[in-house]
Amino acid sequence: MERDRDDSPEGTALVTRPVAADWLGLRREADHQARQSTMAGIQRIEAWAGAQLGPGQAVQVIDLGAGTGSNQAWLAPRLSLPQRWLLLDHDAQLLEVSTSTEVEQVVDTERSVGSVDQLPELISADSPTVVTCAALLDLLSPREASLIAATVAARGSAALLSLTVTGEVALDPADPLDDQIAAAFDAHQRRDELLGPDAAEAVAARLREHRTAVEVVPTDWVLDSSQPQLLARYLTDRAAAAVEQDEALRQPAEQWVRRRLDQLETGELRVRVGHLDLVCVPQAASPEPAG
Interval 168-180: pLDDT, tens: 999 999 999 999 9
Rounded to 10 degrees, the C-alpha dihedral 290/191/171/214 comes to: 10
Judged on CB neighbours under 10 Å (0-12, 13-18, 19+), 146 is middle
The stretch 211-219 carries a mean pLDDT of 96
Residue 163 included in any domain: yes
The answer to whether residue 12 sits within a structural domain is yes
- Note whether residue 267 is domain-resident: no
Name the pLDDT band for 5 (thresholds 50, 70, 90): low
- The predicted pLDDT at position 15 comes to 37
Element (H, E) at 203: helix 199-209
Comparing 159 with 20, which gets the higher pLDDT? Answer: 159
Question: Is the omega angle on the peptide bond into residue 173 within 30 degrees of 0, that is, cis?
Answer: yes
pLDDT band at residue 101, thresholds of 50, 70 and 90? confident
- Decide if 270 is inside a domain: no
224: left (phi over 0), alpha (psi -120 to 50) or beta: beta
For residue 232, tell me if it sits in a domain: no
Which residues have CB under 8 Å from 75's CB, separation 6+?
A: 42, 61, 132, 160
Question: What percent of the chain has pLDDT above 90?
Answer: 85
CATH code: domain of residue 78: 3.40.50.150
How far is the C-alpha of 7 from the C-alpha of 12, rounded, in Å? 9
Q: Is 75 part of a structural domain of the chain?
A: yes
- Let me know if residue 118 belongs to a domain: yes
Residue 3 has pLDDT above 60, yes or no: no
Q: Specify the pLDDT at position 102.
A: 83
| pLDDT grade for 8, boundaries at 50, 70 and 90 | very low
In a domain, 258, yes or no: no
- pLDDT for residue 13 is more than 80: no
CA distance 97 to 85: 16
pLDDT at 98: 79
pLDDT at 149 over 80: yes
Work out the average pLDDT over 179-207: 97
**Domain extent for 124:** 2-167+192-220+275-280
Provide the pLDDT confidence category of residue 119 given band limits of 50, 70 and 90.
very high
Number of independent structural domains in the chain:
1
In angstroms, what is the C-alpha Rg of the chain? 19
% of the chain exceeding 70 in pLDDT:
91
DSSP letters of 40-94?
HHHHHHHHHHHHH--TT--EEEEEET-TTSHHHHHHGGG--S-EEEEEEES-HHH
Please, which pLDDT band fits residue 210 given cuts at 50, 70 and 90? very high
Vertex 116: Cα angle to 210 and 275 (nearest 5): 75
Q: pTM for this structure?
A: 0.90
